[in-house]
Structure 1
Amino acid sequence: MYQALYRKWRPRDFDGVVGQDHITLTLKNEVASGKFSHAYLFTGSRGTGKTSCSKIIAKAVNCLHPSDGNPCNECEVCRGIDDGSVLDVAEIDAASNNGVDNIRQLREEAYFMPSVAKYRVYILDECHMLSPGAVNALLKILEEPPEHVIFILATTEIHKVLPTILSRCQRFDFKRIKSRVIADRLLYICGQEGLSLSDDAALLIARLADGGMRDALSLLDLCASYSGEISAETVTEAAGLAGQDYLFAIADAAIAGKPAEALAQIHALSENSVDFSRLCEQLVNHYRNLMVVSTVKDPEDLVQATPEDLGRLQTQAKKARLDRVMDAINLLQDAMGRLSRTAFKRTEFEMAVIRLCSSNPVSALEERVARLEQAWKDGAVRAAVPEEQAVPVQKPVRTPRTKHASAAPQPSEPLPETASKQEQQLPEVEPFPNWAEVLEQLQKRNGALYGAMVDSRAFTRGEMMLVDCTSEMFRSLLRTSVAAKESLRDAIFAVTGQKYNLGPYTPGKYAVAEQKQESDPLAGLLKKANELGVPVEVNE
């Protein structure tokens, strides 16, 4: 029966583990000196050697003829652990055996002496999946196990492991394996298996594996079944990397600001029953690749793409600004959250793409300024030299002199006043006379807002109340706090009996109307007496 490459080439000793020298050297020294721990915790991404090192430790501590900390792989104990016939070494999947009863059964068995080996070794894979009750049941025996028991816990999500577990174990962090190390290992295995693998194809497989040796060997197995001659093109076709043109098309349309082309591409994808949530994820990853290509000088190890697609990414990245790319990532991530909560996924995704295509006015202005600055640096545009504005002098009109003509000069016409014309064009606002009473009412309702508006004043223009206040706290509250707006509206309504729309007053945007003086002095006295609450009776 055919055996998969990742199973056939699983490391059998510490020297065969690739890319984890900082761990294997420590474990070898511990086993060789006989000072190994009673509990280990291995953490790292998938395919980096956690389970392999766990089995190697189980063989090394029980081997009848160890060699410098490595198992011999020839004695009956080593062979029995490899084929699973030695029951003293148990590999338990904590994802499916995560209950309290499973841990209780393990704890009862652990107190029995091993039947064949020197030590009972329990390998708990994905230990973060244990239930809280199972963790509590494991704590005591994990802290003080019998002398013949060794626990090895492995996990890919270390942040989910409780601190009470971490404090009882010796922790080792497995790193992602470098692409060059994986590629060299693949070339060695292909040489032993009689397969033809190019160096470019090995590097491409290593990049697609994302630091995992098991994923790289699985992909190599797939490529070997696809074609006897494994090249970069073979890897591209076998791994399904072809057909990413729609991502480049949508990104090109977004960069060029052509929403019609982007929507046409989305319609074509919809005809093929595309999953819009998955499409949004792919587009986020595409923009992430653009960000990396724009930032990093040599992005080959950071971007999972074929050499052809990497070249296209570099070309596309030159057309897009880095800040626009990062804004696109933020926008698409927000859209991903909304896609999970709506039934109209296509509509939500189309809205996100149209926002991508819409040009930001601020960004457009920055682009124009950047182009002008670059043109000025290149000498295409010269700085304008300020010239003094000369006052035009009207030439006098010569009239024929007569004997009775007067030589007195005629008065010249006054120059038009441009400032007064500009002021007349500005919309007029009237000062609000009862603003002090509004502030008194506001003090009863919102003390914090009142403190920020002590030195303020207000103007009215129709149904709009414009507040002139230099306090940044007031502007922030007016923008962000609905309660602050309502309390200010209530204070104005208490004084005027009218609901006003609120807004900030900008001095250069409005012209203040002059207050008209009362022509009748008696009317002024009556108004003042009315404000002071003094009863006045008028007899005509």
Structure 2
Amino acid sequence: MAYQALYRKYRPKTFSDVVGQEHITNTLKNELSKGKAVHAYLFTGTRGTGKTSCAKILAKAVNCLSPENGDPCLKCESCLSVENGENTDIVEIDAASNNSVDSIRELRDRVAFAPSSSKYRVYIIDEVHMLTISAFNALLKTLEEPPEHVIFILATTEVHKLPATILSRCQRFDFKRIEPDKICGRIKYVASNEGLNITDGAAALIAAAADGGMRDALSVLDLCASAGNDITEETVEKVCGMAGGEYLNELTDCIKKHDTEAALMLADRLYNNSVDMQRLIGELTSHYRDLMIIKTVKSGNKPIVCSAAKLKKLEEQAEDYDIRDIMRAISVLQAAAGRMQSGNRRCEAELTLLKLCEPQLSGDIASLEKRVTLLEQGAVRRPQAAAAEPEKTEPETSAEPEYDDEIPLPEPPDVSDNTAAAQNTAEGVSAVPEAQWSEIMRVVKTTCPLIHGVLNNSRAYIKGQYLLIDAPNSQFRSLINGNNGYYKDSIRKAAHTVLGVTYKLGPYKAAQKNEESDPLAALADKLKNFEIN
């Protein structure tokens, strides 16, 4: 005998065998036990939840010669003929391939004939939402007033596509996703009957991958059984092309530490191991969803499908995360999943990891909130108040120059000279930390490589609302003071990205010791700067 897939071999034969849909099976059993079968049923729900199986059981039950509390007996002549595929009074129609108005007209003509050997002629129309509008219109009258010997059972995964006139003529049953613990129980039952050794963690992982569908769960189990009789979590991860729990934990830690290089290298390893990038983004979304549940649901019964060891690891990881960071990560990952339907999936996954590791590169609301939080925590240096600057006595009608006059670098104060120390403090000049200036240079390199080369080995300082740049390259002044504002904009935007503040730019010149200032030379420098801008 040819091999039969597990989901077909273990398809329920009675309402009592159906798992996870008790709210439907109990209602149908009560109706049939009281002899109140209606002329049209509508079964709707996600894939693999038992719609077609219940339709076939219902077709057997209404024609069963010895029903048992609404269930078919599976022993009478009618039940056996259905099981053997010999009953011509039960007709299954695939609406996806028979969706024309001509197909429905042919069906309408056949409805008038009485059943050959059963009490009812049952028509099961699967994927009924695929019918055309004309086909629906042709079915309306027959569906509203069919002959007494005819029962229609419509099944669909997209009930919103059905016309209201069809919905109003049917008794509707909504199939829900099957709970993970019930899927786990069914998987263990099937594995035991098939002589397979499966761990609790592997069963939980299959249940999570099935997303509430029993057929998908049994298909995954069938695939795992091909790899061997001993099924572990590693077996399921390999067969399904999953990244694996350890990789997800490592990737999440990289994002938390803002370690972009490690995250991208890990994604490259997973890609080389044939992990689908779209599945990786989906698994990472589920991982962050689990962290969100742990942070928000304080009761012991959390809606998370995983082993006890993985739950403990998730709880440890959630302690280091802020709920706002988790929500931002989920938003970024959800948006990336939508864009992965077309284009380069690997590139999209890497861009997503880059945004997660470096929120300053993203302009969405969640990223801006993250940057504001970093500012509040002092992670990014804020400029000193502009009020600390001495007032400028410039005419109101003249535009303020882009570049201020050069402000000398204050010399280290002599600890024995209190007057010098007070004077240097009053100047209000502070150096931009080297790490932040390097990050600004990295951003500038992506937008304007030319100015990045000119600013090599440069330093920056903040005085009030000015960002003062000390560049050893002599070309810096000529490029910045030219008519092309693109160079200045590149530096300003990069500084705003990293520091979160928009500064005016100015050159920086270190003070020279023991030299008397020349008032005329200083005035000439000021006039030169004003003329340039």
Matches for 1:209-220 after TM superposition, within 5 Å:
209-220=210-221
- Residues in 2 aligned to 1:12 and 1:272: alpha-carbon distance in whole angstroms: 41
Identify the residue that residue 49 of structure 2 maps to in structure 1. 48
CA distance in 1, matches of 2:401, 2:386: 27
CA shift for structure 1 position 164: 1.6
Deviation at residue 120 of structure 1 after TM alignment: 0.9
**Contact 1:88/1:115 (8 A) holds in 2:** yes
Structure 1 residues 85 and 273: CA distance shift in structure 2, 3 A: closer
1:183-217 CA-partner distances (Å, limit 9, x unpaired): 33444445555555555554444344333332333
Q: CA deviation at 1:347?
A: 5.1
- Structure 1 residues 142-172: Cα deviation after superposition (integer angstroms, max 9, x where no partner): 1111111100011122222222211110011
SS of structure 1 residue aligned to 2:88: coil
- Structure 1 residue 330: Cα displacement: 2.1
Q: Structure 2-normalised TM-score?
A: 0.63
Aligned to 1:358: 358
Cα distance change on mapping 1:270 and 1:193 into 2, 3 Å = closer
- 1:423 is displaced (CA, Å) by 7.3
CA–CA distance in structure 2, aligned partners of residues 334 and 228 of structure 1 = 39
**1:147 maps to what in 2?**
148
Q: Which amino acid aligns with 1:363?
A: K
The one-letter code of the counterpart of 1:22 is H
Distance 1:104 1:86 in 2: 23
2: CA distance between counterparts of 1:426 and 1:144?
Answer: 90
Shift of 1:281: 4.0
2:64 maps to amino acid: C
Structure 2: how far apart are the matches of 1:356 and 1:191? 43
Task: For 1:221, give the aligned amino acid.
Answer: D
CA contact (8 A) 2:241 2:274 kept: no
Q: 1:349 to 1:463 in 2, by over 3 A?
A: farther
- In structure 2, stretches of 5+ residues that fail to align are 361-367, 380-384, 403-502, 504-533
Partner of 1:425: 391
Shift of 1:135: 1.5
- Cα 1:429/1:272, change in 2 over 3 Å: farther
Query: For residue 319 of structure 1, what is the aligned residue in structure 2?
Result: 320
- Counterpart of 1:259 in structure 2 is 260
Once the 2 structures are TM-superposed, how far is the Cα of residue 37 of structure 1 from its aligned partner?
A: 0.8
| 1:3-402 alignment runs, 5 A limit | 3-197=4-198, 199=200, 201-230=202-231, 235=236, 238-241=239-242, 243=244, 245-268=246-269, 276-297=277-298, 302-303=303-304, 305=306, 309-338=310-339, 348-359=348-359, 363=370, 366=373
Measured in 2, the distance between the counterparts of 1:97 and 1:162 equals 18
Distance 1:142 1:463, change over 3 A: farther
Q: Which amino acid aligns with 2:128?
A: C
Q: What is the alpha-carbon distance in structure 2 between the residues aligned to residue 33 and residue 126 of structure 1?
A: 29
Report the 3-state secondary structure (helix = DSSP H, G, I; strand = E; otherwise coil) of the residue aligned with 1:151: strand
CA RMSD of aligned residues (A): 3.7
Residue by residue, what CA displacement relative to the aligned partner does 1:201-257 show, whole Å, maximum 9, x if unpaired? 544443443333323333333444444345556555555546465544443222212
After superposition, the Cα gap between the structure-2 partners of 1:139 and 1:259, relative to the gap in structure 1 and judged at 3 Å, is same
Cα distance 1:301–1:217, how it changes in 2: closer, same or farther (>3 A)? farther
- Cα–Cα, structure 1 residues 54 and 351, in superposed 2: closer, same or farther, change >3 Å? closer
Per-residue Cα deviation, 1:102-148 (whole angstroms, up to 9, x for no partner) = 21211111111111111110111111222222212211211111111
Counterpart of 2:414?
none
Matched-pair contact (CA < 8 Å) for 1:99–1:130:
yes
- Residue type at the aligned position of 1:59: K
Q: Deviations over 1:30-76 (max 9, x none)?
A: 11222111000111222222112111111111112223222221122
Report SS of the residue matched to 2:216.
helix
Tell me, which stretches of 5 or more residues in structure 1 are unaligned?
373-418, 432-459, 465-508, 510-540
- State the distance in 1 between where 2:154 and 2:104 align: 13
The question of whether the paired residues in 2 share the 8 Å contact of 1:428 and 1:461 is answered with no
Task: Report if the CA contact (8 A) 1:200-1:231 is conserved.
Answer: yes
CA distance in 1, matches of 2:180, 2:49: 12
- The letter for the 2-side match of 1:259 is T
User: Equivalents in 1 of 2:386, 2:39: separation in Å?
Assistant: 91
Q: Is the contact made by 2:294 and 2:302 (CA closer than 8 Å) also made in structure 1?
A: no
Cα 1:295/1:428, change in 2 over 3 Å: farther
Shift in CA distance, 223/274, structure 1 to aligned 2, threshold 3 Å: closer
CA contact (8 A) 1:10 1:52 kept: yes
Q: Which residue of 2 aligns with 1:453?
A: none
SS in structure 1 of the partner of residue 172 of structure 2: strand
Distance 1:10 1:274, change over 3 A: closer
Q: From the superposition, tell whether residues 298 and 68 of structure 1 become closer, same or farther in structure 2 (CA, over 3 Å).
A: same
Return the letter of the residue paired with 2:370.
S
1:361-401: CA deviation from partner (whole Å, max 9, x where unpaired): 753664686799xxxxxxxxxxxxxxxxxxxxxxxxxxxxx
**8 Å contact from structure 2 (residues 100, 134) kept in 1:** yes
Shift of 1:292: 3.1
Report the CA distance between 1:305 and its aligned residue.
Answer: 5.0
- After TM superposition, the structure 1 stretch with the greater mean CA deviation from structure 2, 23-32 or 257-266, is 257-266
In structure 2, the residue corresponding to 1:69 is in which secondary structure?
coil
User: SS at 2:396's partner residue?
Assistant: strand
For the structure 1 residues 362 and 146, does the alpha-carbon distance in structure 2 shift closer, same or farther, using more than 3 Å as the test?
closer
SS of structure 2 residue aligned to 1:430:
coil
Of 220-229 and 104-113, the range deviating more from structure 2: 220-229
The answer to whether the Cα contact below 8 Å between 2:81 and 2:87 also exists between their aligned partners in 1 is yes
- 8 Å CA contact 1:207–1:301 kept in 2: the answer is no
Q: Take 1:107 and 1:146, find their aligned partners in 2: how far apart are those partners?
A: 11
**Higher mean Cα deviation, 331-340 or 103-112?**
331-340
Looking at structure 2, the residues matched to 270 and 203 of structure 1 have their Cα atoms a distance apart, in angstroms, of 25
TM-score normalised by L of structure 1: 0.62
One-letter amino acid matched to 1:356: L
Query: Tell me, what secondary structure is at the counterpart of 2:54?
Result: helix
